[in-house]
Amino acid sequence: MYFSIDPSNGVPIYEQLVRQVKFAVADKVLVAGQMLPSVRNLAQELAINPNTISKAYAQLQTEQVLEPLRGRGLVVRPDSLHRCVTARQELLSVRLNAVLEECLHAGLSREEVTSMFEKALSALA
């Protein structure tokens, strides 16, 4: 349940966090009711600004992945597993779509795209 952050890779840090929490839930590394590290602790551990943690946690609450436990901290919502799994699926599907659209828009034929896809997939042993 430890997160790895790269502050110089273009993707906003808070987004990296949001994504990692969601994936941890989908992978059942974080389970319903489990408590998350406090903003302060996590900020210190990752050596990043507490505001950034807060922003990520806030977004995870609005996306109904986490919920506050009155005055004690944030926990994984019991109904979030399914949400995270499907959200991840959908997210990936959207991104795949975007890449394919760009391929076609760039002048590649369907055959070229398919061959590229097969090569890429088989390369991922």
Judged by the rule CB under 8 A, the positions of this chain that interact with its own copies are 7-8, 12-13, 23, 26-27, 49, 62, 67-72, 88-89, 92-93, 95-97, 99-104, 106-108, 110, 113-114, 116-117, 120-121, 123-124
Q: Which of 34, 51, 64, 114 binds DNA (CB under 7 A)?
A: 51
Query: How far apart are alpha carbons 42 and 55 in whole angstroms?
Result: 13
Query: How far apart are alpha carbons 53 and 38 in whole angstroms?
Result: 9
Helix 13-26 to helix 50-62 angle, to the nearest 10 degrees?
A: 50
**Using CB under 7 A, which of the segments 56-64, 85-93, 95-103, 112-120 binds DNA?**
56-64
Residue 72's nearest CA partner among 35, 102, 33, 98 is 35
Contact between 18 and DNA by CB under 7 A: the answer reads no
Residue 19's nearest CA partner among 5, 33, 32, 7 is 5
The pair of three-digit structure tokens given for residue 86, joined into one six-digit string: 């499907």
Shortest separation between residue 123's beta carbon and DNA, angstroms: 29
**Using CB under 7 A, which of the segments 44-52, 79-87, 99-107, 110-118 binds DNA?**
44-52
**Using CB under 7 A, which of the segments 26-34, 41-49, 89-97, 106-114 binds DNA?**
41-49
